[in-house]
Chain A
Amino acid sequence: MSSETKQILTTDGIPLEVSLKKAEKKNKIKAFLLVAPLLLFLIITYVFPIGEMFSRSIDDKMITNMLPKTFKEMEKWDGQELPPEEVFTAFYYDFKVLVEKQEHGKLGQRLNKEKNGFNSITKKLFRQVKRKKIDESTSIKEQIMKVHKRWRNVEYWQAIKRTAPPYTMSKYLKGMDMYYAADGSITQVEEDRRIHRILWLRTLEIAFFVTLFCFLMGYPIAHLLATLPMKYSNLLMICVLLPFWTSLLVRTASWMILLQQQGVVNDFFVLIGLVADDNRPEMMYNKVGTYVAMTQILLPFMVLPLYSVMKTISPSLMRAGKSLGGTPFVAFWKVYFPLTIPGIGAGCLLVFILAIGYYITPALVGGASGTLISNQIAFHMKQTLDWSFASAMGLMLLSGVLVIYWIYNKLVGVDNIKLG
């Protein structure tokens, strides 16, 4: 057989097998060329910058470049006792260069992050260097040690040594409320200052409960939409699709109006006598507001995947279950519910992914107790300008999301996402 196959030639005299392979390859390249523009565009403007966030988050080159001689000398120092004369001399010459470039302030700030108290002693040293008070012909170690007693403290020199590597994981540790202690070990911050851990837990908690609420509310209406006759379900579908297409800010604005203290929801509670008129509960600028608004905003993302799965389930299956002696509840639980599990998985993962990175709604209705990790990232990007910390937190969040995305891809497949 094989020898016969080989003998089949195309009109050009090329064996068919070769010709076919060539054509396949050509088709492959053709298909790839169609995808290439978008893929390249995304890699340059999107994937690569996310990678750059990583190098920014671990970058600590600034100080490495500021004190090159010092770090070279420090390699020989064991870090136990006060450093030898050479380290002090190298530090002095590095510092002199920084003073000339007027960058000594940056050094002080950076070292102060490593250990409190550096800012003032670098300023003191700066004044001495500026007035040329340091005599370069005698022991520089003695003179620097006289500037301030902290320069005689070995802990401060250990702190400088710790900043030597051009890369640091300290931003990631900070994101988990930990830091490098004086001896270089990883230590937790005091219990009352663990703000980031609270935020991470709160983000997970809110994302989890929003997903749960969306599921509990979305399942019945998806079922109703899938079982009603087309002409009714199309009408009701508008109730799901209109919010889906409406601006996020408009929906958040309407919740701000509804939930305010003199708002419609509170008016209603007063009317039915649930609360006293002079004791209206605060429903906005706290977790309640975040839960309510996020559930309503993300609900369509739960309903649509559920609906598209339920639509494919034949009603005769339920009838068969009932005719075989199951009560409606049993028939639902044993027949219908298992068939909807793919839809449940798709909807829950989608809502969870979207909820975990939510920013706008918590920022507007969340107040202090309803803000999420995204708000903290935005805060560091815009207010403190600590971009490397914002990058580190962003990547920590991203790695969580990517794990869920991966699971989603395995279970549902990204090409099965349905829109509208």
Chain B
Amino acid sequence: MALPSYTETRYRIWHYIYIAICTFVFFFLIAPLFVIFPLSFNAEEFLVFSEGMKNLDPDAFSLRWYKDMVYGTKNPWGLAAKNSFIIAIFATLGSIILGTLAALGLSSRHMPYKGIIMATLISPMIVPLIISGVAIFFFMAKVGLAATHTGIVLAHIILGTPFVVITVTATLSGFDHSVTRAAASLGSNPVNTFMKVTLPLILPGVISGGLFAFVTSFDEVVVVLFLAGLENTTIPIQMWTGLREQLSPTILAVATCLIILSTLILISAELLRRRSERLRGINR
């Protein structure tokens, strides 16, 4: 972004103002996440930077909140983490299967009523979560699935499929259909063609949609608040309760772990996106 030497002074000034604004916005976006790291190592119970921490005194830092997170008797983080992972994994699998099938159908040029069906399939992403929560709760209560893992998994499949549908249809939009015809002409049956030709090509889109579905389920709190009983508590529910009642440093330890998890997911999503673009022959 170096300015050419002939730039007039007022544009030069404007350019620096622009850079300053951008720096501020990037700082505003990313800095809040980094407040959590140091405070989660706080030796004291307060959520402010103590004098010791400001002076980088080693005694002011400790791992006690991480120990509390893992071994603490009062904290059901273990159960919550177990539930969260189970629910998220099953919800992701369900979303991937239903979403990929639907995306394959939607990408076919023969699909009737494409617009309205697409709008319906995407709607759980657009409808405010509180309304989805109320509707899904009424349904699950009626069929007796409220306060069960199954009910929550089904609810998260509803919320997760739009992401899979979007990412897989996007991948399929650059898909060269002559390869499936080539496979068919070489004597492959449709299932075999899908497994050996189509799936490997759209896999990056499927997995990145799956990552979205996983994060949606893992981070979802509004619908779970309606559906979950004591047995089905999840990490977001525990965090929600903790943030409402008493903001304890243990929550920050959990939050740090979640940030690390989301960093890993971000890296995998980025790598997948690049791989997908390479496979589809998009070079930038």
Contacts and interface: CB of A to CB of B under 8 A. Distances in A.
A224 B22 contact: yes
Contacts of A52: 135, 138-139
Interface residues of A, number: 92
B221 to A, nearest CB: 6
Interface stretch (A26-34, A74-82, A91-99, A168-176): A26-34
Contacts of A249: 219, 221, 236, 239-240, 243, 255
Is the contact region of chain A dominated by helix, strand, or loop, or is it mixed? Answer: helix
A63 interface: no
B69 to A, nearest CB: 14
Contact of B139 (A49, A257, A262): A49
Given A31-B108, A401-B127, A414-B118, A359 B32 contact: no
Interface string A82-126: 000000000000000000000000000000000000000000000
Contact of A377 (B130, B208, B218): B130
Interface residues on B, range: 35 or more
B119 to A, nearest CB: 6
Given A42-B124, A414-B118, A418-B170, A257 B36 contact: yes
Contact of B236 (A247, A255, A377, A419): A247
A254 B40 CA distance: 11
A241 B131 contact: no
A67 interface: no
B104 interface: yes
A417 interface: yes
A253 B158 contact: no
Interface string A12-48: 0000000000001001101111111111011111111
B148 interface: no
B130 A357 contact: yes
A210 to B, nearest CB: 14
Interface stretch (A136-144, A336-344, A391-399): A391-399
A364 B108 CA distance: 45
Contacts of B131: 50, 53, 357, 377, 394-395, 397-398
Contact of B134 (A34, A252, A262, A377): A377
9 contacts: A38-B99, A50-B135, A253-B251, A257-B247, A328-B11, A397-B128, A401-B126, A401-B128, A415-B118
